[in-house]
Amino acid sequence: MQTLNDLLGDSKIFSSREVLSPHFTPKKLVFREKEINNIERAVAPSLKGDRGRNLFIYGKTGTGKTSCVNYVIEEIRSIPNTRARISYINCKIYNSRFKVLAKITGDHLPTYAKRGYGAVDLYERLRNWVEEDNKIFVAVLDEIDMVKDLDDLIYTLTRMNSDIKAGGVSMIGISNRVSFKEDLDPRSLSTLYETELVFPPYYATELYAIIKERAAVGFKKGTISDEVLHYIAAQAAKEGGDARFSLKVLSKTGELGEERKLSAVTMKEAQDAARIAEDESVYDLIGTLPEHQKLVLYSVSLLTQSGGTYKKLTDGVDTYLFSGEVYSRYKSLCESMKKEPKSERWYRKYLSELEMQGLIAAFESGKGIRGHTKLVKLLVPAKKTKDVLEKDLFGVPEERKEEAS
């Protein structure tokens, strides 16, 4: 066990922890030159004064979306005498139209933001601010699909372009879900004039190059081997080409080496770090799901734990559920929460997206099980998933977890 003196002393493993953080943006983003150039091309017309150009960027977690956008933001800010003004908004935190407008106002009109105005007043002040000297305002909305009243927010920001006499407003929306726009109202969709960009996952060779570059600066010489780096890259490739995951494992590997008072990390630390990071990543992912997907996953975890009423199958190792009972439990949950349950078509789409995220497996049954029906299997620990979702959906404290089921 490390003492406080150990923690405060010089590290035997790390030379710079900062560069190992997923939030650190290096001066050069390798393997994303094409994507950066596409972002630059998409925002250039807006920066020259054209109105209403919006960009939506999609891709799985850890594919470099936010890093590339931040890289371009810094490029824009470095342009001398630019009329462009930018706000970066993390929509997991600022998850409503009012919070987004308040964040933008706080960034650019901090004195006004403190006066307690409502959304309409903030809108009017921001509109006037853009008009004052023909500003080009760019709102970067990271994890845009987390905004609860997204239709209202998109309509408000796009409407501003119609209301202002000079200047322009553009959005850069970033999302892990390519399909999130399907949830939007046609009114909101009709106001968008957007370019779309999809970020592909990283290959294992690319992940290796990324973490090797970071490790060369973040770790002391001789404390981590190429064999360990190749292992970490391979594990991250299995996780869907997630660079964030690779950096988390890399950092955790070093931390375990320090805790064990080693002078260099070994494969043992890397393997242990990968297992820890994999568990953490699953539950971080659950937190980013849209509400109705969470309710479907919660239904699966409840039924997996309890066995449901009569439609559970088991082969002695895994538990399989009939899709129909999962949907029935989901509808019951919605009704108990005074929410309108989505149709079966949407439910099937949610199952598909949960499967793409690696949280469940869904497949058609073979002959002999009342014809052909869809079976659902939870791929993550049921109790932990249930506990995480109860805290997220209902705010259930640890000691009352069992009551919600």
Q: Does the pLDDT at position 342 exceed 90?
A: yes
pLDDT grade for 280, boundaries at 50, 70 and 90: confident
The DSSP code for 266 is -
Q: Residue 252 carries which side chain, given as an amino acid letter?
A: K
CATH number, span 33-198: 3.40.50.300
Q: How many whole angstroms separate alpha carbon 103 and alpha carbon 87?
A: 8
Task: Tell me whether strands 360-364 and 374-378 are parallel, antiparallel or unpaired.
Answer: antiparallel
CA torsion through residues 97, 103, 108, 113, sign: positive
- Convert 145-181 to b/e letters by CB count within 10 Å (16 or more is b): bbbeebbbbbbbbbebbeebeebbbbbbbbbbbeebb
Element (H, E) at 324: helix 323-336
Residue 373 has pLDDT above 80, yes or no: no
Cα–Cα–Cα angle for 394, 62, 395, rounded to 5 degrees:
10
Confidence of residue 270 (pLDDT cuts 50, 70, 90): very high
Which pLDDT band holds residue 401 (cuts at 50, 70, 90)? very low
Task: Tell me the mean pLDDT in the region 81-103.
Answer: 94
Mean pLDDT of 96-107: 96
- Does 369 have pLDDT greater than 60? no
Which architecture characterizes domain 289-404 according to CATH? Answer: Orthogonal Bundle (1.10)
Task: Give me the residue spans of the domains in the chain.
Answer: 4-23+202-287, 33-198, 289-404
Beta bridge partners of 141: 89, 173
Is pLDDT of 317 > 70? no
Q: What is the pLDDT of residue 98?
A: 95
**What average pLDDT score do residues 337-345 get?**
93
pLDDT of residue 402: 41
Which three-class secondary structure state does DSSP give residue 396? Answer: coil
pLDDT band at 99 (very low <50, low <70, confident <90, very high): very high
- What fold is seen in the domain 4-23+202-287? Helicase, Ruva Protein; domain 3 (1.10.8)
* pLDDT(8) > 70: no
Is the per-residue pLDDT at 398 higher than 50?
Answer: no
Q: The whole model's pTM is what?
A: 0.78
Average pLDDT (245-255) is 97
Query: Could you identify the residue written with the tokens 């659950």?
Result: 286
What pLDDT, on the 0 to 100 scale, is given for residue 197? 94
